Structure 1
Amino acid sequence: MAVAGNGLFTRDKLAEALASVCAAAGLDPDGAELLRMTNNAVFRLARQPVVVRIVASRALRHRVAKVVRVATWFAGHDVPAVRLLPGVVQPVRVGGHLATVWEMVPAGGVKPRGRDLARLLRRVHALPAPPFPLPTWEPLDDVRRRLDEADGLDDADREFLLGRCDEMASRIDDLDFALPPGLIHGDAHLGNLIPSPSGPVLCDFDSTCVGPPEWDLAPLAVGVVRFGEPAGRYRELSRTYGLDVTRWPGFPVLREVRELKLITSVLPIMTSHPEVRPELMRRLDDFRRGDTSSRWSRYT
């Protein structure tokens, strides 16, 4: 398999992977648009209302079967979320590639707001335990996996990040959460809400697990500081959900863990997509220096 961690998942290789997946699923890849490329390469097909999501990180392939189960569970409970394309055995495995195939969300609707995210999170958090096993919240697991797979990161930076993971793991163990654990989305930010004519829908279930609901409230709070998102979006989230996680004593720990994930999310593709490196190194430098107020730019 051509994997990003080896610097081989170039755009040409991605096109080959997409063609293979589409052939297996009976789809047409011609004219497909690459929407996003971090841990997954997400394509919107031009000739069918379908989105194809190809795993771009070898270290995170283990999550795909869970994504399929969670998406099916959400559909069974009528949770507003993206739906798997019916009639296709999922995940799609072909030529060493692993992918999921989704119905495209109809265009239209208004831009999602903090209150929309809060309402969807309350709905997810209220679901009963699913009839299949879910992993327990281990927010640093994917960070360590990305570090193992990273190509182009020097030893000093790697050792610093691994050391910080060890430090944060100890601090996580000491947290006293205010809410009981349950099903959580795991990466709950406004970028994982898609507008539709009938209202916003959730997407991206890679990080879904059993864990503290507080974790689902942290990404938007961190986004206000690091990405300059309007503070009103977070206030709307906390007011609608009924908890301001930034006032909880454990929030600084959640913030640092979230920032570690934001820094390392592109490590598997750093060589094949060198344009992400300047922002990655800027984030890492801020984190190393303890600069908690510097603004970051989104990876493109």
Structure 2
Amino acid sequence: MKHEDLEAVARAACSAVGLITSDLEPIKVAENAIYRLPSSAIVVRLANPGQEAAAERELLIAGWLHRSGVPAVEPANLATTFVIQRNHPVSFWKELPEHRGATAPEIARALRALHRLEPAEFLPAIDPFVRLDQRIDAASATSPADRRWLRDHLAELRERWADRTDGMPWGPIHGDAWEGNVVTTIDGPTLFLDLERTSIGPPEWDLTSTAIKRSSFGWITRKQYVGFAEAYGRDVETWSGFPLLRDIREMRMTCMAVQAAGRDSRRAAQAQLRVDSLRGRRGPRPWSGWEAMP
């Protein structure tokens, strides 16, 4: 859907809950479209059609984390914080105060607090391969040979996941814990955003997000990673199951890129670089050139 069409959906959803949209402005329009209403200090989040249950669950998770003493984004103070508008699930959230991306140790401490919680009954089990088939199918700018390889690699990863090595006991995990989704406010608290992937799973899944920033891409230094591991109390890279979680994470990042390249040719070079890395065409890790995609 075009940006102007998504904005029209956001405006209609706001009107449905009694919000004035004269100052509506975009924050990020990507897989999910996010807008803000500065005068109301409210953020409006549009999910894709078919994601109703997940969008409603995010609101439940946010309330549960708040009651459990784990800082996270909070639902807006509205009588209704969730509506369906033109098949898009739309949720309403309190706007955050001034903030920055959390440092590696701050992410580690936030994850340690989350991982200690007793699971809530509404949390689903982790699905590390969610949407990957669809992303490969949508990779229209990727060569048929590379798409076949991606499908074969996905099948291999599923087999390895079925035979995975046990690690820490499963419990609540964020699911996508990096500095874009874990932020520190100007007043000090570090809190979680984007709760779409919050589920029951191996804590190592969250730790791997930071570990691969060093070992796969060279985005952080060894010293920064050691600070993360020490703050959490465990170095996930020393665990025998780490290579599997690393490989799945890299695959998820690659599938997101090839889908994006199918929609926008400006993403094609980054998508191909990622495919080439996974296929062994760019030498051993850490691979250079991987860039965050908006």
TM-score by length of 1: 0.86
SS of alignment partner, residue 227 of structure 2:
helix
- Counterparts of 1:204-283 in structure 2, within 5 Å, are 204-224=194-214, 225-226=216-217, 228-266=219-257, 269-283=260-274
CA shift, 1:172, in A, is 1.6
- CA shift in 2, pair 1:270/1:68, >3 Å: farther
Partners in 1 of 2:280 and 2:52 — Cα distance? Answer: 33
Residue equivalent to 1:4: none
- CA shift in 2, pair 1:33/1:227, >3 Å: farther
- CA shift in 2, pair 1:161/1:32, >3 Å: farther
Residue equivalent to 2:172: 183
Q: Which moved more, 1:35-44 or 1:238-247?
A: 35-44
Residue equivalent to 1:84: 75
More relative contact order in 1 or in 2 (CA 8 Å, sep 6+)? 1
Residue equivalent to 2:46: 54
Aligned pair partner of 1:144 in 128, 133, 147: 133
Residue equivalent to 2:150: 161
Q: Deviations over 1:72-125 (max 9, x none)?
A: 2112212110001122424321122112211011115x6522221111111111
Is this contact kept in 1: 2:21–2:37, CA < 8 A?
yes
Q: Deviations over 1:155-208 (max 9, x none)?
A: 433332221111011112222222111111111112211221132211111111
Partners in 1 of 2:51 and 2:257 — Cα distance? Answer: 12
Partners in 2 of 1:105 and 1:92 — Cα distance? Answer: 21
Residue equivalent to 2:292: 298
Q: Which runs of 5+ in 1 are unaligned?
A: 1-8
Is this contact kept in 2: 1:32–1:43, CA < 8 A?
yes
Aligned pair partner of 1:26 in 18, 23, 26: 18
- CA shift in 2, pair 1:131/1:250, >3 Å: closer
Partners in 2 of 1:178 and 1:211 — Cα distance? Answer: 11
Partners in 1 of 2:7 and 2:262 — Cα distance? Answer: 17
Q: Which runs of 5+ in 2 are unaligned?
A: none
SS of alignment partner, residue 131 of structure 2:
helix
Partners in 2 of 1:238 and 1:165 — Cα distance? Answer: 29
Partners in 1 of 2:23 and 2:142 — Cα distance? Answer: 34
- CA shift in 2, pair 1:206/1:267, >3 Å: farther
Residue equivalent to 1:201: 191
Q: Which moved more, 1:168-177 or 1:259-268?
A: 259-268
Partners in 2 of 1:241 and 1:279 — Cα distance? Answer: 32
Residue type of the partner of 1:190? E
User: Once the two structures are aligned, what percentage of the paired residues are identical?
Assistant: 27
- CA shift in 2, pair 1:259/1:111, >3 Å: closer
